[in-house]
Structure 1
Amino acid sequence: MDTGTHVVMGFALGGLATLDPVVAQDAVHFHSVLIATVLGSQAPDIDTLLKFKNNAVYIRNHRGITHSVPAVLLWPLAITAVLSIFFPGTDALHLWLWSFLAVFLHVFVDIFNAYGTQALRPFSYKWVALGVINTFDPFIFTIHVIGIAAWLFGAQPGPTFLAMYIFIFLYYIARFAARHDVKKAVLARIPDAENIIISPTVRFHQWKIAVRTKDAYYVASAFKSAVTILDKFKRLPVPENEIIEAAKQDKNLSAFLSFSPVYNWQVKELDNGWEVRFTDLRYRKNGHYPFVAVVKLNEDLEITGSYTGWIFNKKKLKKKLDVVPR
């Protein structure tokens, strides 16, 4: 989920914690647990700072080790250890339990996005992405804000947020049912589909779709269970030649290939070398595919520039490629 949603989830869990008699007994316990749930709801996303290094490092690591099984266990221990210093006398066990719930819930809800997480590390490095809830879901965010506002105006936080989470649970069931209908509709249109990637949007009934068959890639959209095919690309195996092999040594392209499950590729001859471009087919917007990896090589197949990330205009891409990668 997005940062804002994780923030309001942290406050909501702090309010829910008032159902715990130990937390509710005094202000010290309550405030320490509230801070713990807010911190726990944010801690796994500390890897967002990797974006300041470069996109390749960010793509390879975001929602990776910080969302793994060991991290889910270690974040609460670190939060409990630090807060116990500032709140002496607080019950460490209950502080750990609520911070653990906050961290666990953060990782758990991220699984339902199209981006997903490596939540099963170190047992599996596979990305777990159920594609049911958009990274920002207006309903989930709004109902949290309403719950927090009700709390500020005097509502009992425990029952308020318990009711809220029951509504959210039912909402998730509705989203799964809607996604199931979309998948059935895709199979009816493309019966030889080998892999169907369905991505939610901010609109409940609107979905983005990428399909892989034996011979082609399809890009589609769906409104409810009405599927519209937007693009079709012939599926060509990536050639094993010197140009591609040289490009694959680049960290940006390597990161892209580790993340993208469905893409198109292109090799273009330039006046003084080659350009290798891979385009992720999941993120079509207004007829454009903005998520790419591009590598420029000279005539000796030495990398002279590369980039991976979101590109919406050629001028920005040229500027990025003018920087020789280190």
Structure 2
Amino acid sequence: MDTGTHIVMGIALGGFALADPVVASNPVTMTAVISGVIIGSLAPDVDTVLKLRDNAVYIRHHRGATHSIPAVILWPILITGGLSLFFPEANLLHLWLWSFLAVFMHVFVDIFNSYGTQALRPISNRWIALGVVNTFDPIIFGAHVLALTIWAFGANPVWTMSVLYISMFIYYLVRFAVQAAIKQAVRNTIPGTDKVFVAPTMRFFHWRIAADTDRHHYVGRAYGRAINIYDKFMKKELPDNNMIQAALKDKNMAAFISFSPLYRWEINEYGNIYEVRLIDLRYRSNDYYPFVAVVHMDKDCKILNSYTGWIFSEDKLRKKLDYSHN
């Protein structure tokens, strides 16, 4: 989820923590626990700073190690240890328990969007992305803000958050049901489909779709159960030649492939420059495919420059790449 949603989720969990008699009866423990759950709700996303280095590192590692099984164990220990310096009289066991729940909930809810996490590391490096809610879901965010507002006006926080969590559980079930119905509608619309990706948007009934058959890639949108196919691409295997082999060794290209399960490729020539481009088919927006990996090389397959990330126009892509060699 986005940072704002993680923050309101952390505050809501702090309200629910008052169901714990040890927390509710001790002001110092209460303050420490509320601080701990808010910090725990944000801590796994500390790897966002990787974006300052470059996109390849960010794509490969964001929601990786910091969302792994060891991290879920380590974060609460660090949070409890740090807060104990400021709240030495707090009950450390209960501080650790609620901090652990906050960290676990952060990683758990991230599984449900289309980016996903590597939550099973080190057992498995597979990305787990269920794709039933958008990274920012206005209904989830709005429900939390409403619950926090009701709490602020004096309602019992435990009962308020209990109603919130029950509502969210039902909402997620509905989202799974809608996603399943859309996948079936895609299979009915495109005979022979062997792979279907359904990605949510901020609109409840609007979903991005990408599907594979043995011969073609299909890209479109779903509005309820109505399927609109916008693009159809012939399915082609990457050629096995020196140019492709050199491109695949580039860190930006490798990061893209590690993250994207459905893409097409292009090879273009611009004067003395050869371009290899991989295009993720899951994120079509306004007739454009913004998530790409691009490698430029010379005729000897020496890489001149490369880029991977989100680009919404060719002009911006050109600015990202160094064209001084033109």
**Structure 2 equivalent of residue 194 of structure 1:** 194
AA partner of residue 135 (structure 2): T
SS across alignment from 2:44? helix
**Structure 1 equivalent of residue 86 of structure 2:** 86
In 1, Cα distance between equivalents of 2:266 and 2:173: 40
**Structure 1 equivalent of residue 154 of structure 2:** 154
In 2, Cα distance between equivalents of 1:188 and 1:62: 36
**Structure 2 equivalent of residue 204 of structure 1:** 204
**Structure 2 equivalent of residue 286 of structure 1:** 286
Alignment of 1:242-257 (within 5 A): 242-257=242-257
In 2, Cα distance between equivalents of 1:213 and 1:47: 36
Structure 1 unaligned segments of length 5 or more: list them.
none
In 2, Cα distance between equivalents of 1:321 and 1:129: 30
Normalised to the residue count of structure 2, the TM-score between the two structures is 0.98
**Structure 2 equivalent of residue 22 of structure 1:** 22
In 2, Cα distance between equivalents of 1:323 and 1:39: 43
- The alpha-carbon deviation at position 178 of structure 1 amounts to 0.7
AA partner of residue 227 (structure 1): I
In 2, Cα distance between equivalents of 1:203 and 1:277: 30
**Structure 2 equivalent of residue 306 of structure 1:** 306
Contact 1:7 1:38 in 2 (8 A): yes
- The alpha-carbon deviation at position 26 of structure 1 amounts to 2.1
- The alpha-carbon deviation at position 33 of structure 1 amounts to 0.3
Contact 1:306 1:323 in 2 (8 A): no
- The alpha-carbon deviation at position 27 of structure 1 amounts to 1.4
Alignment of 1:115-264 (within 5 A): 115-264=115-264
In 2, Cα distance between equivalents of 1:227 and 1:267: 31
**Structure 1 equivalent of residue 104 of structure 2:** 104
In 2, Cα distance between equivalents of 1:116 and 1:24: 35
In 1, Cα distance between equivalents of 2:11 and 2:29: 15
SS across alignment from 1:188? helix
In 2, Cα distance between equivalents of 1:191 and 1:113: 27
SS across alignment from 2:127? coil
Q: Structure 1 stretches (4+) deviating beyond 3 angstroms?
A: none
- The alpha-carbon deviation at position 232 of structure 1 amounts to 0.5
**Structure 1 equivalent of residue 36 of structure 2:** 36
1:72-97 Cα shifts (integer Å, max 9, x gaps): 11100110111111101211111011
- The alpha-carbon deviation at position 273 of structure 1 amounts to 2.9
SS across alignment from 1:232? strand
In 1, Cα distance between equivalents of 2:143 and 2:252: 39
AA partner of residue 319 (structure 2): K
SS across alignment from 2:114? coil
In 2, Cα distance between equivalents of 1:7 and 1:122: 27
In 2, Cα distance between equivalents of 1:269 and 1:246: 16
1:267-302 Cα shifts (integer Å, max 9, x gaps): 112211311111100110111111111100012211
SS across alignment from 1:37? helix
Normalised to the residue count of structure 1, the TM-score between the two structures is 0.98
Q: Cα RMSD (Å) of the superposition?
A: 1.0
Q: Identity percentage over the alignment?
A: 56
In 2, Cα distance between equivalents of 1:137 and 1:235: 33
1:138-189 Cα shifts (integer Å, max 9, x gaps): 1110011011111111111111111110000010111111111101101111
- The alpha-carbon deviation at position 315 of structure 1 amounts to 2.0
- The alpha-carbon deviation at position 323 of structure 1 amounts to 7.3
Aligned residues: 324
- The alpha-carbon deviation at position 245 of structure 1 amounts to 0.6
